[in-house]
A and B are shown apart, each in its own frame.
Chain A
Amino acid sequence: MSEATAEAPTWSETGSDSLARLDAELGDAIVERAAMAGDPVVRVAPDAWRRAAIACKEVVGCDYLSFVSAVDWMPAPVIGDEGAGDTSTPAQPREQTVGVAGGSTRFQLLACVESTRSPFRRVILKCDVDDAMRAESWVAVYPGADWHERETWEMFGIAFDGHPSLRHLYLPAEFEGNPLRKDFPLLAREVKPWPGLVDVEGMPGGADDEEAAE
């Protein structure tokens, strides 16, 4: 690879170039596009997920898989009593929202691929997942997607067509539920408020205890 010269493209120039190549290859399959701090974010139609991967690998030249995951856009249910003033858990949005490059479903696949040959070149891909919770697998294009898709299946419940064996990666086989879904509760937080909420506790055997004993 050559040294950085005066003619080497900048980060956002490379991003626009990647976007142009994807546009030429995928055309209508791109539902929405955006730029996020110089990186192209491309939302593709659900049936073009694998085609987008092939386009990134062959046309844009992104040979390196960074990750494949998903986002659950549903707001998390409120735990505990809001009036109690529990400020330990950050307030979350109350209705379903979308992110960069839009979206219309609760679940969205999120992936990033990069290039090891030309600097700064990377593409962030998104794709809506409807209620059937199925998506195309990338294993034939990037073999490393094997484990990423297993993790996404386990955490969100999205099944991947064409994956050799979708089985548990992180969680024990008997685990029920998909932890990263917003409606999966963290039971420890529901049973007991965050112990660090109290700044100063009384010493055992001190004034608090004496009052309680009276």
Chain B
Amino acid sequence: MTTTQPPGGLPEVEIDPAALRQLADARMNIELDTGDMILNLGPQHPATHGTLRLVVRLDGERVIAADPIIGYMHRGYEKLAEYRTYPQITTLINRIDWLSSFANEVPFIHAAERLMEVEAPPRAEYIRTILTELSRIATFLLFLGEMGLQVGAITPAFYGFRDREYVLNLIEAATGGRFHPNFNRIGGLKDDLPWGFIAECRSVMAKVMKSCDEFEDLVVGNPIFQQRTRSIGIIPAALGASYGVSGSNLRASGVDWDLRRDGPPYLVYGDLDWKVWTHPDGDSFSRYWVRLQETRESARMILQMLDALPTGPVMAKVPRIIKVPEGEAFVNTENPLGEMAYYVVSKGATGPFRVKIRSASFSNVSILPWLLRGCYVPDVVTILASLYFILGDIDR
């Protein structure tokens, strides 16, 4: 398994002399000693992806300080989990990262299975991996479309939603729900794949690869997009890691770390032949580029898994009323948004004693006060779009 860099190095970007003149005007603003302005973005704002409130202090167009105020979607998952049984919690945790719902269930179910010392049969693990990667593709297709929208192009958003429909069709055929599938059970899955799924999945993956090429043509190659995103919002690797930034955001800063390969083995990633994509720059463009490559990589992984799908049952033998033995388990996985982890404390009851949910976007957004200093207001929107957080994931 190797890491890959963008081919041919970084393209040249011409600095427009008119832009330099604009910068000179900005400096004059500061010399005139105009006061600071406090701008409140949100909690309702088309650019904040949900109910995030960002209070920024501006000097002209430049951000001096930024303070994200979260909690507008706080539903109290950790408290609710203490009053529910394990299958009920599985239904609930789908809705943390509501775009890639299947991926949220997997670490929790693995933690419960580890405590019960039950292993899901190989076919179930393969199907879980396929559905997780399908969720990843669905999330990233939306991201690819929607970051274009935030930067100012409407067309990628329509492409993103259109191509997402194919993947959601597949997830719905297998699980019954477009998202929020609630398909995992302790010990396996609720059902097997339907007839015709494999052939349909193969043709959808071909469509996904084609649409990634379209995004590359339409968005990545666009000089306006490049000027809006290159060198905007650079996260240094060490600082990002100490803030807890994870997933594609950290890989876009050059850190070669992917929990599917570098964490304790989970699901069937060890059997597949796949690459981890990194980019040395760490700016918004590299975050977009890394996710584009990861979408392609997920499609390739799914094709491998479809070829290698084992036969057998999809559910291990578990008792009807599930009582998980006493103990603690910590499982973290590479979710589309980053590292998601569950620390489950069980006291032998039908429900857990304490569940600590570590969600990726919480840490990704905590770097915003540092990241937004010194950038312009339109860059704030670009940075928010490129970090790609989901409010349910931040607020839990």
> Contacting chain A: which of B4-12, B41-49, B136-144, B258-266?
B258-266
Query: Could you tell me which residues of chain B, from 218 to 250, have a CB within 8 Å of some CB in chain A?
Result: 238-239, 241-246, 250
B351 touching A90, Cβ below 8 Å: yes
Residues of A within 8 Å of B341, CB to CB, are 66-67, 112
Measured in the bound complex, the distance between the Cα atoms of B76 and A99 in whole Å is: 23
Given A63-B241, A144-B243, A93:B1 Cβ within 8 A = no
Q: Mark B81-93, 1 if CB is under 8 A from A, else 0.
A: 0111100000000
Compute how far the CA of A67 lies from the CA of B396 in the bound complex, rounded to whole angstroms.
Answer: 14
Contacts A90-B351, A120-B262; A37 near B329 (Cβ below 8 A): yes
A54 at the interface (CB under 8 A from B): no
Are A144 and B79 neighbours in the complex by a CB distance under 8 Å? no
By the criterion CB–CB under 8 Å, are A186 and B242 in contact?
Answer: no
How extensive is the interface on chain B, given as a class? Answer: 35 or more
Closest to A93 in B: B347
Judged by a CB distance under 8 angstroms, whether B306 is at the interface is no
Q: Let me know if B256 is at the binding interface, CB within 8 A.
A: yes
Residues of B within 8 A of A120 (CB): 262-264
CA distance A91 to B349 in the complex (A): 6
Contact digits for A24-66, partner B, Cβ 8 Å, 1 yes 0 no: 0000000000001111010000000000000001000001111
B80 contacts which chain A residues (CB < 8 A)?
186
The distance in angstroms between the C-alpha atoms of A82 and B256, with both chains bound, is 53
In the assembly, what is the distance between CA of A63 and CA of B363, in Å? Answer: 14
Contact A144 B78 (CB under 8 A): no
CB distance from A151 to the nearest CB of B (A): 8
Contact yes or no, B366 A147, CB < 8 A: yes
Q: Is the CB of B263 within 8 A of A119?
A: yes
The reply to whether A143 and B239 form a contact with Cβ atoms under 8 Å apart is yes
Min CB–CB distance B260 → chain A (angstroms): 11
CA distance A93 to B3 in the complex (A): 49
B residues less than 8 Å from A72 (CB atoms): 354
Instruction: State in angstroms the CA–CA spacing of A72 and B262 once bound together.
Output: 32
In the assembled complex, B328 has its CB within 8 A of some CB on chain A: yes
Determine the chain B residues whose CB is within 8 A of the CB of A112 once the complex forms. 330, 341, 343, 358
Report the nearest B residue to A184, measured CB to CB. B79
- Binary flags per residue of B105-120, CB closer than 8 Å to A gives 1, else 0: 0000000001000000
On chain A, the residues within 8 Å of B303 by CB distance are none
Number of interface residues of A (CB under 8 A): 54
Binds B, one of A128-136, A165-173, A199-207: A165-173
Contact B349 A64 (CB under 8 A): no
Q: Which of A123-146 contact B (CB under 8 A)?
A: 124, 141-144, 146
List residues of B (328-351) whose CB comes within 8 Å of A's CBs: 328-330, 332, 339, 341, 343, 345, 347-351
- State whether A97 touches B347 (Cβ < 8 A): yes
Q: Which of A65, A100, A172 contacts B363 (CB 8 A)?
A: A65
Task: Kindly provide the distance from the CB of B393 to the nearest chain A CB, expressed in whole angstroms.
Answer: 13
**Nearest residue, chain B, Cβ from A72:** B354
Taken together as a complex, chains A and B put the C-alpha atoms of A141 and B243 apart, in Å, by 10
Of all chain B residues, the one with the shortest Cβ separation from A97 is: B347
Residue A104 interfacial (CB < 8 Å): no
How many angstroms from the CA of A113 to the CA of B243 in the assembled complex? 11
Minimum CB–CB distance from A192 to chain B (whole Å) comes to 13
Distance to closest chain B CB from A77 (angstroms)? 12
Given A37-B114, A97-B353, 15 more A-B residue pairs with CB atoms under 8 Å apart are A1-B256, A3-B1, A63-B242, A64-B257, A65-B363, A89-B84, A93-B347, A110-B343, A143-B370, A146-B366, A147-B362, A168-B71, A179-B76, A180-B78, A186-B79
Nearest 8 CB-CB pairs, A to B?
A: A90-B351, A144-B243, A119-B262, A170-B71, A144-B244, A170-B74, A116-B257, A67-B358
Query: Can you list 22 contacts pairing A with B, beta carbon distance less than 8 Å?
Result: A36-B330, A37-B264, A57-B242, A63-B238, A64-B241, A64-B242, A65-B242, A66-B332, A67-B244, A72-B354, A90-B85, A92-B347, A92-B353, A110-B356, A112-B343, A117-B257, A120-B262, A142-B244, A169-B70, A170-B71, A180-B79, A186-B79
